[in-house]
Amino acid sequence: MQIQLTKITTAEAVVESLKERIRGNEFGPGERLPSEQALLKEYDVSRLTLREALARLSALGVVQVKHGKGAFVTRSISVTAMNDVLIPLFPELDTSGMTDLVEARNLIESEIAAKLAAGRTPDQLERLERLLVYDDSILKDPESFAARDHEFHLALVKMSGNQFFIVMYQALSRHIRAFLVRYAQSLKDRKTAMERHRGILKAIADGDVELARRLAREHAAICASFIKKGKS
């Protein structure tokens, strides 16, 4: 059987070239790309092709096109741009990719828990406490439980104030929730996960930095062990 390969268009080639130049710091955050005339000369493409390429870069969150002023490299990270980079690394059913994802969450969330323990606010604690109130409809349904579980972890990440972590977590939301659904198939697993969340929150509320860090790491380690065992 002959496999048909998708040919890359000229616009896609321009997109990849400009992304590479931006990654190489030829154009930094907030900097203006060369003028339309300069880019047309550099790439020897039609105006329509160039504008299509810039539109794609804008949709990806890599550049911002300002009418009458030109195209500028975005100053902040966008979920779309992060998604474009990260999603290919984590196919939902790939054990290796999911293990890497859980390990990354382990490193990030354990330090976030420690940071919150060192400087939490009453409003933050109240928000987290509300997310750990589960009625029977949530606890009995894996999909609903996964959504609430993810919401709790996302709230922790948002409270860190680190924009990179927030955008990265949002970009990976679909994969994280897919893992949580697989992990929380039994009622026992769901109740156990909920109790671990409560332990982490208590350590944060008590201001116990090391305990918050350790409990968050243990929670992630249990999730990683689940993947390695091939549990479904």
CA-CA distance, 172 to 165, in Å (whole number)?
A: 11
> Would you state the pLDDT for residue 232?
44
Q: Beta-strand (E) ranges in the chain?
A: 63-66, 70-73
Between 18 and 179, the more confident residue is 18
Q: What is the mean pLDDT of residues 187-205?
A: 89
> Would you state the pLDDT for residue 185?
75
- Pinpoint the alpha helices (H) of the chain: 10-23, 36-43, 47-59, 79-86, 95-119, 122-131, 136-140, 142-160, 163-171, 173-183, 187-206, 209-228
Give the model's confidence band at 74: pLDDT under 50 very low, under 70 low, under 90 confident, else very high.
confident
Give the model's confidence band at 43: pLDDT under 50 very low, under 70 low, under 90 confident, else very high.
very high
Q: What is the mean pLDDT of residues 117-123?
A: 93
CA-CA distance, 107 to 7, in Å (whole number)?
A: 40
Q: Which of the given ranges, 12-26, 120-134, 182-196, has the highest pLDDT on average?
A: 120-134
Give the model's confidence band at 204: pLDDT under 50 very low, under 70 low, under 90 confident, else very high.
very high
The position carrying tokens 């080639």 is: 13
Residue 166 in tokens: 């927030």
Q: What is the chain's mean pLDDT, rounded?
A: 82
> Would you state the pLDDT for residue 170?
75
Q: Nearest-CA neighbor of 168 among 77, 97, 103?
A: 77
At residue 32, the 3 state secondary structure works out as strand
Q: pTM for the full model?
A: 0.62
Kindly list the structural domains of the chain, giving each domain's residue range(s) and its CATH number in brackets, ordered by start. 10-75 (1.10.10.10), 82-228 (1.20.120.530)
CA-CA distance, 146 to 142, in Å (whole number)?
A: 6
Yes or no: say if 59 and 80 are a contact pair by the CB < 8 Å rule.
yes
Give the model's confidence band at 209: pLDDT under 50 very low, under 70 low, under 90 confident, else very high.
very high
> Which pairs with CB-CB distance under 8 Å and at least 24 residues apart come from 150-156?
150/176, 150/177, 150/180, 152/128, 152/197, 153/105, 153/109, 155/127, 155/128, 155/131, 156/109, 156/112, 156/113, 156/116, 156/128
Residue 181 in tokens: 């659904």
Burial class (CB in 10 A: 0-12, 13-18, 19+), 201: buried
Give the model's confidence band at 23: pLDDT under 50 very low, under 70 low, under 90 confident, else very high.
confident
> Would you state the pLDDT for residue 231?
47
Between 30 and 91, the more confident residue is 30
At residue 17, the 3 state secondary structure works out as helix
Burial class (CB in 10 A: 0-12, 13-18, 19+), 228: exposed
